[in-house]
Structure 1
Amino acid sequence: MSTLTSIRPERRRRPVLGAALTYMVLILTAVLFLAPFYVLLRNAFMTTPEVTSPDWHWLPSGLSWANFRDLFADTERPFAQSLGNSLIMAALTAPLSTLFASMAGYALARINVPGRGIVLALIVGTLMIPNAVTFLPTFVVVGALGGVNTLWGMVVPGLFNAFAVILFRSFYLGFPAEMEEAGRIDGLSHLGVYRRLILPNSATMIASLGALSFIEAWNSFLWPLMIGQDPTQWTAQVALSSFVTSQTINLPVLFAGTVVAIFPLVVMFLVAQRYIVEGITMSGLKS
């Protein structure tokens, strides 16, 4: 009896110790991930001497809102307009690229046409080509068509996402065939089945890939830098890079601009994180 009594508390301690260890690891991981955001916010409200000081300061001596005022008051770097350009670019790229990928994925998964396997192999093959190889030819083509310093020149090349097409194909392979057969009995074409049955049941997948596409378009730097050569066509990322030059580096304003630029992404992630996880999980990557 005494032996059983001594074993029970020991068994109770193990789950408690395991839970405590798990919480410690989670807290440590959260601190490591949140540390850059803390430094970013801290520096955004500091003055230049405080940011460049060799002594560490946990908090700024005062909330210097002048950094944010100087950020939007700079006429050489129209940051407000750059934010608007980024928003327009991301808002157009996310839904259009997701829709095109969904349509292509459905066609590759459900429409039995000759050469479907060859098309799929070509799409997969594009994933193996580095972006640096296709960057210059794409720029030459877009430039020859008059796309430099235009909105369509920044948006159109990003509308075709091979990886999203493969994910949608894998997702649609798991759809029940009975759903499509019921639509065919009602006289629907392939387009009608896709629009009325498939698309409404793909909301989670579309939301997840749409959110990821929005984040990718918002963070894109090299392509908008090459296409938007006029300051009025800069995106937020290009405008931020202009605060670091060979002559001057305005660190406090740069940190303030970074805080403003990442705010839409933080909101997007908080709103769509559940859909992102569910969508990638539901894709399944079936062959």
Structure 2
Amino acid sequence: MALSTAPTPTGECAAQDPADGGPPPRRRWPFSPYHLLLAPLAVLFAMPLVQMVLASFKTDAEIRQVPPTFVPAHPTLSGYVRLFQDSDVLRWLLNSVIVSGSAIIAHLVLCSMAGYGFSRLRFAGRGASFVLLVGTIMIPTQLLMIPTYIMFTKLGVVNTLPAVILPWLTSAFGVFLMRQFFLSLPRELEEAGRLDGCSAFGVFWRVVLPLARPALATLAIFTLLGSWNDLIWPLIAINDDRWYTIQLGLANFQGQRRTEWSLLMAGNVVATMPMVLFFMLAQRQFVATMTFSGMKG
């Protein structure tokens, strides 16, 4: 009588079955091994921010204490109370919001249109114009301050908020960033839009810009960081404390003989939190730009 035998499992499944004497299944880490390196670096970079926040709850005497303490022994809100009572910090924040908001809107509109023109439109001198435009990035900002101040004086905008807004309307870096992103987009998408009856501006507005959201978010982040943290040009162009930006107002808390550190730390926390919140909201778009820019259609 013939004996029927069941088929034995072969291949990878049989090799990984512990009952058959095979090697046990490979154990997976709950996190990436790269986190073992990135986590200490993240803590290292976050320490100054954490120390600034903790110092804002200290008194001036505790901040000057030697050896210094990391955690405040007696937390207090005196720094924040004096910040909002003895200074126009809310007005400075509003001025910075106006300057940064205007800079972001202008950059998104003007840099995207210029970048699309340099990447898709054909006109005489396109290559030379783009090289000259990108070459202006290498010019130090300090060399342009005196000519810009003289020009703004003749325009009558010195010591007003437009004097801080106008230099941030556009930038060569923004045009370069948008051009490089548009070059990575497949032309077939634009040709499909033209076949559907869209004009050149319609293709740009309806097809290209929705795909450029990651690049636009990245440009908005860089523009916000630059315009919000700008100090040198507002220090030259603004003398009236009504038009101070937040960075210029905080600079006045530091004196030659005495600095109120608790007040200064509280002001730095108030000035830094909008940047942290904005980056947390836009970080996915920022990462998407870095990954999408290497893809070709």
> Do both share a fold (TM > 0.5)?
yes
Give 1:148's aligned amino acid. Answer: V
Give 1:254's aligned amino acid. Answer: L
Give 2:53's aligned amino acid. Answer: L
Per-residue CA distance 1:13-63 (angstroms, 9 max, x = gap): 9x87xx797544333212211211221012101011100011232321222
On the 8 A contact 1:212/1:276 being kept in 2, the answer is: no
Return the alpha-carbon distance in structure 2 between the equivalents of residues 150 and 49 of structure 1.
Answer: 38
1:194-233 mapped onto 2 (5 Å cutoff):
194-233=204-243
Instruction: Provide the residue aligned with 2:129 in structure 1.
Output: 119
CA RMSD of aligned residues (A): 2.6
Q: Which has the higher helix share?
A: 1
Return the alpha-carbon distance in structure 2 between the equivalents of residues 12 and 34 of structure 1.
Answer: 35
On the 8 A contact 1:85/1:233 being kept in 2, the answer is: yes
Instruction: Provide the residue aligned with 2:68 in structure 1.
Output: 56
Equivalent of 1:172 in 182, 186, 191: 182
TM-score by length of 2: 0.85
- Residues 1:235 and 2:254 are matched in the alignment: no
Per-residue CA distance 1:190-220 (angstroms, 9 max, x = gap): 2222122211221221122112211221111
More off after superposition, 234-243 vs 51-60:
51-60
Give 2:140's aligned amino acid. Answer: P
Max Rg structure:
2
Give 1:81 deviation, angstroms: 0.7
Return the alpha-carbon distance in structure 1 between the equivalents of residues 223 and 69 of structure 2.
Answer: 37
Return the alpha-carbon distance in structure 1 between the equivalents of residues 246 and 173 of structure 2.
Answer: 26
- Residues 1:38 and 2:56 are matched in the alignment: no
- Residues 1:151 and 2:168 are matched in the alignment: no
- Residues 1:70 and 2:82 are matched in the alignment: yes
- Residues 1:47 and 2:56 are matched in the alignment: no
Give 1:242's aligned amino acid. Answer: N
Equivalent of 1:259 in 253, 260, 269: 269
How many pairs align?
A: 278
Return the alpha-carbon distance in structure 1 between the equivalents of residues 282 and 90 of structure 2.
Answer: 25
More off after superposition, 217-226 vs 257-266:
217-226
Mark the CA change 1:130 to 1:284 in structure 2 (over 3 Å): closer, same or farther: farther
Return the alpha-carbon distance in structure 2 between the equivalents of residues 73 and 39 of structure 1.
Answer: 24
On the 8 A contact 2:213/2:285 being kept in 1, the answer is: no
Give 1:107 deviation, angstroms: 0.3
Give 1:90 deviation, angstroms: 0.7
Question: Matched residues, percent identical?
Answer: 36
